[in-house]
Structure 1
Amino acid sequence: MRGLFAVVLLVGLGLAGFAVHMAQGYVQKYQTALALERQSKVTPIELTEIYVATQALDYGDKLMPEMVKLVKWPKESLPSGWYADANILFKNNNLTPRHILRPMVQGEPILQAKITKPGEDAGLTSRLEKGMRAFAIRVDVASGVSGFLRPGDQVDIYWTGSVDRLSEDGETSFTKLIQTGIKLIAVDQKAKLEGVNGNVARTVTVSVKPEQVAALAQAQNSGKLSLALVGAKDDTIAESIEVDQNKLLGIERKEKKVVQAKESAKVCTIRTRRGAEVVAIPIPCSN
């Protein structure tokens, strides 16, 4: 009796193991089929090879072949002005190399707006946009924001001087905001960020329109210019500002009283003839 029970138990265990094995195989096949179905529904991303920087590139650096490499980039998000052909990026085997116009980090795409044409130097003229001019402003430790100015910063420009005002007596000294949001393109003789921090500049070069050049030249020759650094994320436009000594100290200007001259007393006369001579004789006037 016990032998029969053992046989039945072994047969049951075998059937249970076989059932588990079959169930695992079925589940695995189902999961594989489900994964294949999901994969078939995903739209493949189309990629294009473009050149990116293999290292950090600074303003003025020569662009060499070892500084770039081809990587796959999603075609739908390609930036404007990308390069994929080495013969175009490095013309004539790079005998006339391009130069870096804007600092780039490792992995950043090489774009047309960030490099010069073959053989073109990354001088100051390459940083001027169409219709803009470079103008130098004399500064010192006070007017130049204590050496914290860097190329690419934006500043507001204030003029301090004295002028004759016809409506007031004598000269009036005041400070006025004359230009806002002016872009710096060079500090002293440096147009790159490296080595500029902390140095007290003697001149800064700004990018302005031709009519602004005339205004700044006149202002610099007739008074003193001071710069105020604008925050990197500040997009507000400064309003017209003018402060003189009276406004600074809170002194109210007294209005002048205009005293009209009294009408001169009337003089009445009578004329009489004395021989050939006519004589005017004053007499009291009557109303």
Structure 2
Amino acid sequence: MRPIQVVILVVALGAAVAAAMLAMNMTGRGDADSAAPVQAVIPSEEVLVVSSDIPMGGTVGAGNLQWRNWPKDGLGEGYVVRAQRPEGLTEISGMIARSQLLAGEPVREARLVRSDRGFLSAVLPKGMRAVAVKVNAASTAGGFILPNDHVDVVLTMQNGGSEGAPATAVSETILSNVRVLAIDQKVDDPEDKKSVVAQDTATLELSPEQSQLMIQAQQMGSISLVLRSIVDSVKSAEDEKIQTGVNVVKFGIQSRVTAAQ
């Protein structure tokens, strides 16, 4: 066999091997593509969510809301679903936030209120009252008590002494675990604007009975607020049984004025 024939035979064999390998690769790829799993489609609904942070007392406008797909399995009670309320965005727009709303969370009407009156009366829970108390930085944990903190209220009175004995100061906790609605005119404190300043007035959320007790206590002595840990701010069944009040001496007869929490 001449050399040129050998060369041609070798080239032909190489081309045949290359073609076979290419055919095998293409067949294998087709099998892999056909075996690829089909991505499951998760059933969802369009839900009204907050598109930007809204502070407590802020007005919820159309620019703060948007419809967003939400898994059906994750729908919570009170969510505004577009299929059920197509005009939900318009209906919610203009309402007031009773607590801070964060971007991305679904809108719940229980956390909103519509009112054409003052903000504080709108955010007060049913049956509760807002009572202003004169305070200063020294009597508010050095000024670190902020709106939405929970505090104990301590009354300090001067116990009149007899001849030769000086008067003594007596302190007593008259209310426990009450919420601070506002400090001066401030009802919210964004994390990036926290500051420690002297305060003149704290507004507390109290029941009608506690309101009467607080007003009486302010006439009897000075009021101090004691900051509670956030862990202790959740009232338990035992807390509901606690009776708080103040001992009052009138015409030489001691009595105790109390208010159920």
Secondary structure at 2:101 match in 1? coil
With over 3 angstroms needed to count, the CA separation of the structure-2 counterparts of 1:215 and 1:170, relative to structure 1, is farther
- Aligned residue number for residue 229 of structure 1: 227
With over 3 angstroms needed to count, the CA separation of the structure-2 counterparts of 1:23 and 1:196, relative to structure 1, is closer
Mapped partners of 2:226, 2:15: distance in 1: 88
Mapped partners of 1:153, 1:186: distance in 2: 9
CA deviations on 1:84-123 (whole Å, 9 max, x unpaired) are 34534424x97xx322322223333222123223x54462
Mapped partners of 2:171, 2:102: distance in 1: 42
Mapped partners of 1:23, 1:31: distance in 2: 12
Secondary structure at 1:39 match in 2? coil
1:127–1:185: 8 Å Cα contact kept in structure 2?
no
Secondary structure at 1:198 match in 2? coil
Q: Which runs of 5 or more structure 1 residues have no equivalent in the other structure? A: 241-287
| Between 177-186 and 211-220, the greater mean CA deviation after superposition | 211-220
1:62–1:99: 8 Å Cα contact kept in structure 2?
yes
With over 3 angstroms needed to count, the CA separation of the structure-2 counterparts of 1:236 and 1:115, relative to structure 1, is closer
CA deviations on 1:194-237 (whole Å, 9 max, x unpaired) are 67843322111111223323333333322222112223345588
Pairing 1:149–2:149 present = no
- Aligned residue number for residue 172 of structure 2: 176
Secondary structure at 1:25 match in 2? helix
- Aligned residue number for residue 188 of structure 2: 192
- Aligned residue number for residue 126 of structure 2: 130
1:52–1:107: 8 Å Cα contact kept in structure 2?
yes
Secondary structure at 1:218 match in 2? helix
- Aligned residue number for residue 39 of structure 1: 38
Mapped partners of 1:98, 1:236: distance in 2: 27
- Aligned residue number for residue 23 of structure 1: 24
CA RMSD for the aligned pairs? 3.3
Pairing 1:87–2:83 present = no
TM-score (structure 2 length as normaliser): 0.73
2:65–2:89: 8 Å Cα contact kept in structure 1?
no
Pairing 1:50–2:47 present = yes
The percentage of counterpart residues that share the same residue type is: 24
With over 3 angstroms needed to count, the CA separation of the structure-2 counterparts of 1:122 and 1:98, relative to structure 1, is farther
With over 3 angstroms needed to count, the CA separation of the structure-2 counterparts of 1:142 and 1:39, relative to structure 1, is same
Paired AA for residue 108 in structure 2: L
Shift of 1:170: 8.9
Mapped partners of 1:21, 1:232: distance in 2: 69
Paired AA for residue 90 in structure 1: T
Secondary structure at 1:71 match in 2? strand
Larger radius of gyration: 1
